[in-house]
Amino acid sequence: MAARAAALPSPKARRSPAPGLAVGLSTLYLSVIVLLPLAALSWHAHGWEAIASAQAVSSLKLTLGVSMVVALVNAVAGTVIAWTLVRDRFVGQGFVNALVDLPFALPTIVAGLTLLALYGPKSPTGVNIAFTRWAILVALLFVTLPFVVRTVQPVLLELDTEMEDAAASLGAGRLATFRRVILPNILPAILSGVALAFARAVGEFGSVVLISGNLPFKTEVVSVYVFGRIESGDAGGAAAASVVILAISFAVLLAIGGCRRWVTRHDR
């Protein structure tokens, strides 16, 4: 079959004008929609002293710090949830599986409002975390929840239980089996999910804006800082801080690309 395919003349579709058209049109679209605005943004980024301002540095530090905590919590919680969905059996599992995608479908402003209703000043539970850093953490955990679950779940599904049985028969305890056999297999997936969650957390705006109170030096994340700069008419300073966020996003995307290559290498 392969020999026959090789003997065929090179496929006609590639010589037709269509490929050039598909590549050309989509490149044009991508340039106009994405690249041109970002080029304008980078071009107009001035007022670099704005980035060095205490308020900007503080918001950037807070954002990166909270995002790292979010990444760590997701690494554990996401793996546990994925484990429960793949290896456990209980009534309503399908519903729980669908529920995990909710943060992808729910508008972020609605996510922020719902969290504020239950964990804010008028909470019926008596728990009030509004306008604290805990509020930022909870909002970010809400919107980033699906990332690790959805990257780890398929890998766990494909993982053969034979290796675990072998480890158990050789006398390994349940923890040792998890640490030595399962974890190395799912680690690339965990890391790539964690990186996506981190990137999302760094740029998050809608879910945080209502519940964090946006107090400079205390609960102001970098997206809200940029928004504030825009509102005060300082587009140059806002652009300068934005270029920093843009650079972080690009770096994380590259790291995820690295993770994906690692995953495919492990697959073979």
Partner 1 sequence: MIGKYVVRFAALGYLAALLAAPLGYVFWRTFRHGLGPAWAAVTTPDAVHALKVTLILTAIAVPANTIFGILAALSIVRYRFPGAGLFNAVVDLPLALSPVVVGLALLILYGRGGWLGGHGVVFALPGMVLATIFVSLPFVVREVVPVLREIGTEQEQAAATLGASAIQTFTRVTWPAIRWATAYGVVLTTARALGEFGAVSVVSGRLAGKTESLTLYVQDRYQSFDEVGAYASAVVLALIAVTTLILMTTLKPKEETR
The number of C-alpha atoms within 13 Å of 82 and in the hemisphere containing its C-beta is 28
Among residues 18, 176, 183, 215, the one that binds partner 1 under rule CB under 8 A: 18
Closest alpha carbon to 222 in 70, 63, 69:
63
131 contributes a contact to partner 1 by CB under 8 A: no
- 3-class state of residue 39 by DSSP: helix
Residue type, 15: R
48 contributes a contact to partner 1 by CB under 8 A: no
148 contributes a contact to partner 1 by CB under 8 A: no
| Alpha-helical runs (H) found in the chain | 2-7, 12-15, 18-30, 36-44, 48-52, 54-87, 93-99, 102-105, 108-119, 133-158, 161-169, 174-177, 183-203, 206-211, 222-231, 235-267
Q: What is the dihedral of CA 162, 167, 172, 175, to 10 degrees?
A: -50
Residues 80-119 that bind partner 1 (CB under 8 A): 80-81, 83-85, 88, 90, 94, 96-110, 113-115, 117-119
Please choose, out of 50-58, 160-168, 182-190, 196-204, the segment that lies near partner 1 by the rule CB under 8 A. Answer: 196-204
206 contributes a contact to partner 1 by CB under 8 A: yes
Among residues 130, 136, 182, 202, the one that binds partner 1 under rule CB under 8 A: 202
124 contributes a contact to partner 1 by CB under 8 A: yes
**Cβ 108 to partner 1, closest distance in Å?**
6
200 contributes a contact to partner 1 by CB under 8 A: yes
Residue number, 41 or 64, with CB nearest to partner 1? 41
**Spatial distance between the Cα atoms of 8 and 220, rounded to a whole number of angstroms:** 63
Among residues 41, 57, 68, 172, the one that binds partner 1 under rule CB under 8 A: 41
121 contributes a contact to partner 1 by CB under 8 A: no
**Spatial distance between the Cα atoms of 236 and 257, rounded to a whole number of angstroms:** 31
Q: How many residues bind partner 1 (CB under 8 A)?
A: 91
Among residues 57, 227, 258, 266, the one that binds partner 1 under rule CB under 8 A: 227
